[in-house]
Structure 1
Amino acid sequence: MGVRVLDLTRLLPGAYCTQMLADLGADVIKVEQPGRGDYWRWSPPTVRTQGAQFLALNRGKRSVTLDLKTDGGREALLRLCATADVLIEGFRPGVMGRLGLSPEALHARNPKLVVCALTGFGQDGPWAQVAAHDLNYVGMTGLLQLVNGRSAAPRATGLPIGDIGAGALMAIGGILAALVDARSSGRGRFVDVSVADGLYSWVGFMTACWNVPGMEGVDVPFDAPFDKPFYSVYETADGRHLVVGAYEEKFWQTLCAALDLPEWLDRQWCGGEEEDRLRAAIAAAFKRRTLDDWLAVFAEHEACVTPVLTTREALESPHAKARGSVITVDDPVEGPLRHVGNPLRFDGHAFNALAPVPRLGADGEALLREVGYTAADIEDLRANGAM
């Protein structure tokens, strides 16, 4: 890839973003706090010495510890910036400026540097300084009324969808676009990535209904067919669950035949009390057989009916194995580790960084020597607590 990335972030969104860049061949350098480093290194559950989640999302990176509150630490970072293509940080707005590391200061050292700030609410606006995590973002952007299928009963999600999808993935897109521009224009951009902005963008195809006469006042733009009886989840006789996505008429007809519900053939889109009766009829039908029984039925009768798998079942499925979705990293301290790999395929191949995570600060001396520091300089940094 020929790209060097300085990663000043902690925890999930930044780690996910730079892990994908590392998988694609970028030289990712974690710039960590001396002594403690990224909080995730030590967060339970730990494998042997380090957090399992940290081990999953920091493969193939390098680590240097710098105290950015010291003159020596800041200068070392600026000298590393001169050799880098990207710097990504996840501090609250204003922190980098107060450290003397504003985009202007970074660009003074390297005009082509792409600087990405990955935050919850962006660099400006009345929420910019609000303390929040993934669930807060999802709740404050209208998504929590949608993700569980029913707008009246929002519940916590089981996956940090904002951090990953609206934060990390948006940052990857912004960084790569800015890199392309920098290589042609010679000018590095400041990329302002907000998890909230990313979540807003997800509902754009739904809020389009507000442009329809008569629908301007709809508060929750639930877009059919979400959570209609033919597009829902049902329990089987053995307590497992099936997803029904029989949206097209041909699938609906097959579903009615398989469930022996011919009286509902022409009432797929019913509403009100009739919709409640249809949902109850489908639920009762599915409760008559086990999951395996139904899978055998729908293997012969295509109706977009599929199982709800556990995470383990999904990642141990024949499909996941055929796609190479799970990789193994041989860590000299933690032992063999199984991780979910890079989802992108290029010419049928997925590129993955298979080197283990770096020990805290393990690459600091080598990296600083690359940018002109002598052994004596490095000892001074250590003596002054900058490294």
Structure 2
Amino acid sequence: MALSGICMALFHKERTGKGQYIDVSMMDGAVTWLYAAASDYFASGKVPERGSNRLDGQFAFYNVYKTKDKKYLTVGASEFKFWKRICELIEKPEWISLHEGSEEVQEKLKQKLTQLFKQENQAYWIELLASEETCVSPVNDIDQIFKDPQVIERELFKEMNHPLAGTIKQIGFPIKFSETQGEIYSHAPILGEHTEEILSKLNYSNDHIEQFRKNGVIGQKLSLNI
């Protein structure tokens, strides 16, 4: 939200020559994510119940299901073509016409899908369904995320050297540019690592810095093999 606001303000400044103050709060941003539930509430005046809306479990085709090995699948087949392909692959053609069925139909379908997906491990269902146009994906644990081929291909997993910890793992830069590729150029700073550099830039002399150190204002000088 802050980044979007800054970009918009810079664009406004280029057009008008006027700067402006930007006020962004995390709460405001979080409230805007309630748009789906809020639109129903504003229209009807009724507080929505969990599992009663299209995208939070009302329909069997848009839900999360547990597998035999206690992992999970996410099914997002809201479009009929995706649901149809799922039913074909799991050999349940009789379910195809039930895509937008009544509440009673959806409850029965959810129970049947719950029982079905528990019969095999997650890997089985991913191999069967995820390579097709079904909108079925695994719900990954954190270790699975960084082994995912797409995550690796997009360079979202990086390793770098740290002067104290050795080789450490990092999340990569998520935005790709054609001319100015983002990269991790430095480790997270160690406590006090840049104290002298910053004080020097603020025009404090070496004598002043040493006096600060003697008086306990700053910590002892770091000795790192960087």
TM-score, with length taken from structure 2? 0.78
Aligned AA (1:198): G
Which of 295, 309, 327 is 2:126 aligned to? 295
1:282 maps onto 2:113 in alignment: yes
Please report how far the alpha carbon of residue 337 of structure 1 lies from its aligned counterpart in structure 2 after TM superposition.
0.4
1:231 alignment partner in structure 2: 62
- Residue deviations 1:101-144 (CA, integer Å, cap 9, x gap): xxxxxxxxxxxxxxxxxxxxxxxxxxxxxxxxxxxxxxxxxxxx
Please report how far the alpha carbon of residue 211 of structure 1 lies from its aligned counterpart in structure 2 after TM superposition.
4.3
Please report how far the alpha carbon of residue 291 of structure 1 lies from its aligned counterpart in structure 2 after TM superposition.
2.6
CA distance, structure 2, for counterparts of residue 303 and residue 327 of structure 1: 31
1:196 maps onto 2:27 in alignment: yes
Please report how far the alpha carbon of residue 296 of structure 1 lies from its aligned counterpart in structure 2 after TM superposition.
2.7
Alpha-carbon distance change, 383 to 208 in structure 1, aligned in 2, over 3 angstroms: same
Count the aligned residue pairs.
Answer: 215
2:45 alignment partner in structure 1: 216
CA distance, structure 1, for counterparts of residue 94 and residue 5 of structure 2: 52
Alpha-carbon distance change, 385 to 181 in structure 1, aligned in 2, over 3 angstroms: farther
Alpha-carbon distance change, 181 to 367 in structure 1, aligned in 2, over 3 angstroms: farther
Aligned AA (2:63): S
Please report how far the alpha carbon of residue 210 of structure 1 lies from its aligned counterpart in structure 2 after TM superposition.
3.7
After TM superposition, list the pairs within 5 Å mapping 1:173-188 onto structure 2.
Answer: 173-177=4-8, 185=17, 187=19
Please report how far the alpha carbon of residue 173 of structure 1 lies from its aligned counterpart in structure 2 after TM superposition.
3.5
1:241 maps onto 2:72 in alignment: yes
CA distance, structure 2, for counterparts of residue 366 and residue 250 of structure 1: 61
Please report how far the alpha carbon of residue 347 of structure 1 lies from its aligned counterpart in structure 2 after TM superposition.
1.8
2:221 alignment partner in structure 1: none
Is this contact kept in 1: 2:74–2:138, CA < 8 A? yes
Please report how far the alpha carbon of residue 339 of structure 1 lies from its aligned counterpart in structure 2 after TM superposition.
1.0
Please report how far the alpha carbon of residue 316 of structure 1 lies from its aligned counterpart in structure 2 after TM superposition.
1.2
CA distance, structure 2, for counterparts of residue 308 and residue 219 of structure 1: 25
Is this contact kept in 2: 1:230–1:246, CA < 8 A? yes
Please report how far the alpha carbon of residue 366 of structure 1 lies from its aligned counterpart in structure 2 after TM superposition.
2.3
- Residue deviations 1:58-104 (CA, integer Å, cap 9, x gap): xxxxxxxxxxxxxxxxxxxxxxxxxxxxxxxxxxxxxxxxxxxxxxx
**Looking at CA atoms only, which structure, 1 or 2, has the larger radius of gyration?**
2
Which of 185, 188, 205 is 1:354 aligned to? 185
2:82 alignment partner in structure 1: 251
1:313 alignment partner in structure 2: 144
CA distance, structure 2, for counterparts of residue 294 and residue 219 of structure 1: 32
**Percent sequence identity over aligned pairs:** 28
1:273 maps onto 2:104 in alignment: yes
Aligned AA (1:217): K
Aligned AA (2:135): C
Which residues of structure 2 form unaligned runs of 5+? Answer: 219-226
Is this contact kept in 1: 2:130–2:137, CA < 8 A? no
2:223 alignment partner in structure 1: none
Secondary structure class of the residue paired with 1:193:
coil
CA distance, structure 1, for counterparts of residue 18 and residue 133 of structure 2: 54
Please report how far the alpha carbon of residue 325 of structure 1 lies from its aligned counterpart in structure 2 after TM superposition.
1.0
After TM superposition, list the pairs within 5 Å mapping 1:1-387 onto structure 2.
Answer: 170-177=1-8, 185=17, 187=19, 189=21, 191-212=22-43, 215-219=44-48, 223-227=53-57, 228-299=59-130, 301-347=132-178, 350-382=181-213, 386-387=217-218
CA distance, structure 2, for counterparts of residue 195 and residue 266 of structure 1: 43
Task: Calculate the aligned-residue CA RMSD, in Å.
Answer: 3.0
Alpha-carbon distance change, 302 to 188 in structure 1, aligned in 2, over 3 angstroms: closer
Is this contact kept in 2: 1:210–1:217, CA < 8 A? yes
Is this contact kept in 1: 2:37–2:48, CA < 8 A? no
CA distance, structure 1, for counterparts of residue 180 and residue 200 of structure 2: 35
Is this contact kept in 1: 2:56–2:63, CA < 8 A? yes
Alpha-carbon distance change, 265 to 188 in structure 1, aligned in 2, over 3 angstroms: closer
Q: Whose RCO is larger (CA < 8 A, sep 6+)?
A: 1
1:166 alignment partner in structure 2: none
TM-score, with length taken from structure 1? 0.49
Aligned AA (1:343): P
CA distance, structure 2, for counterparts of residue 180 and residue 379 of structure 1: 46
Please report how far the alpha carbon of residue 297 of structure 1 lies from its aligned counterpart in structure 2 after TM superposition.
2.0
